[in-house]
Amino acid sequence: MSVPKTKRGKSKLEVITKSRQLASYTLKITQNENNFPKRYRSFIRDEICEVAVNISARIYEANSIRVVTVNDYTERRALQKEALRLTYRLLNNIAIWHGMHHVDNNRITFWSESIMGVQSLIRSWRDADSKRYQASLASGSFKQADDEDI
C-alpha cells in the first residue's frame, strides 16, 4: 500500500536525487542545437553544464562525509555552501543565456524552478545539520581528532 503524496515526508536523499535530475536535464537541454547553437556552445553551454554537474558533485561529496569531528562538520558545511553558491551561478548563467538567445519561457521556468528546488533542499539540509551538530558540540560528543580514514 502506498502512502499518499501529501502524507509523505522528505527523503534524506532527495537533495542528491534532485541535483542529479537537474544535472541530467541541463545536459539534455544544452545538447539541443535549437537551444544552444554551435557558435555559442564553447562559450556558455560548457559553463552551464560544468556548473550543473558540479552542484550535484558537491552535494554528493558533502553527503559522503561521516561527521565525527568538528573538522568533518566544517568540511561538509563548506561543500554545502559551495553547492548553494553554484546554484546561484547556474541561475545567473541561464539568465544571461536567455537574454542572448530566445529559449521557450516554459523551459526556462521549469529549469529555474528545478534549481530553486535544489536550493531549498540544500538550505533545509544545511539547517538540519547545523541544529544536529550544534547539539553535538554542546554535549561534547564530537571527537577532538580525526582518527578515521575516508
Q: Is residue 147 part of a domain?
A: no
- The predicted model gives 136-145 an average pLDDT of 71
What is the reported pTM?
0.84
Which of 10-24, 75-89, 136-150 comes out lowest in average pLDDT?
136-150
Query: What pLDDT digit, counting tens, does each position of 77-125 carry?
Result: 999 999 999 999 999 999 988 887 777 889 899 999 999 999 999 999 9
Residue 26 located in a structural domain: yes
Domain that holds residue 22: 13-139
- Does residue 149 belong to any structural domain of this protein? no
Residue 52: CATH number of its domain: 1.20.1440.60
Q: Residue 59 falls within a domain, yes or no?
A: yes
Residue 7 included in any domain: no
Q: How many domains does the chain have?
A: 1
Instruction: State the Cα–Cα distance between residues 135 and 142, nearest whole angstrom.
Output: 10
Residue 109 lies in a domain: yes
Helix spans in the chain (H)? 14-31, 38-40, 46-64, 70-100, 105-139
Any domain includes 28? yes
Taking each helix axis as running N to C, give the angle between helix 70-100 and helix 105-139, from 0 to 180 degrees, rounded to the nearest 10: 170
pLDDT tens digits along 30-75: 888 777 777 766 678 889 999 999 999 999 999 999 988 889 999 9
83 domain-assigned: yes
Q: Which three cell numbers stand for residue 65?
A: 562525509
